[in-house]
Amino acid sequence: MSTHSLTRKKRSQCDYTLAFKLQVVSAVERGEFSYKQAQKKYGIQGRSTVLVWLRKHGTLDWKHPKVHQVEQSREQRIKELEQQLASTQKKLQDAELKARLLDIIIEVAEGELGLEIRKKPSPKQSKSSERKKKCAFLQPAGCLGTQGKPTISASR
């Protein structure tokens, strides 16, 4: 391996005068150049050097660039909302059709195979079984070092 491939060319760092910086900033703010064009025209190194100058020395707000949003007319907005509504209604119809189709498939399968495919709703739990569950959660509290200390009552 040669030593030429290991050596790097050092970048030269230029110190620009305040007058030069202000000249570039004013040219960009007047609209003569974009900051990228000014960078190329004046041979300024660094991708964001001119932008930093604009933020520091410029009179315009370069810290918060404006996002250009095209305002829609009332008619355009209504048309867009109508399209969204039509799309949503189409999706709803498709979902309802799919649900009906699946119901028919399940009914046919249950009839031919003699199996109950649909899940039966589970009965509601009684109050006493709910209290037992709460008590079951409170009992292990003893292993957490809460012995002899007041705990949450299960009778609430």
Name the domain count of the chain. Answer: 2
Write out the residue range of the structural domain in which residue 105 sits: 72-116
Boundary of a domain, candidates 28, 57, 86: 57
Beta strands in the chain (DSSP E): none
Residue with tokens 């957490």: 144
Instruction: Read off the pLDDT of residues 58-72 as tens digits, 9 standing for 90 and up.
Output: 887 666 655 555 667
User: For residue 144, what pLDDT band results from cuts at 50, 70 and 90?
Assistant: low
Are both 53 and 77 inside the same structural domain? no
Angle at 148 between CA 146 and CA 154, to 5 degrees: 70
Asked if residue 91 is part of any domain, the answer here is: yes
For the range 115-121, what are the long-range contacts, defined as Cβ-Cβ under 8 Å and sequence gap of 24 or more? none
Residue 86 maps to a domain: yes
Please report, in angstroms and rounded to a whole number, the separation of the first and last CA atoms in the chain.
81
Question: Residue 40: which of 53, 50, 29 has the closest Cα?
Answer: 50
The alpha-helical segments, DSSP class H, found in 43-156 are: 49-57, 74-113, 127-138
Question: CA 76, CA 58: separation in Å to the nearest integer?
Answer: 38
Does residue 135 fall inside a structural domain? no
Residue 32 in any domain: the answer is yes
- For residue range 12-32, list pLDDT tens digits in order: 567 888 899 999 988 888 888
Q: Is residue 125 domain-resident?
A: no
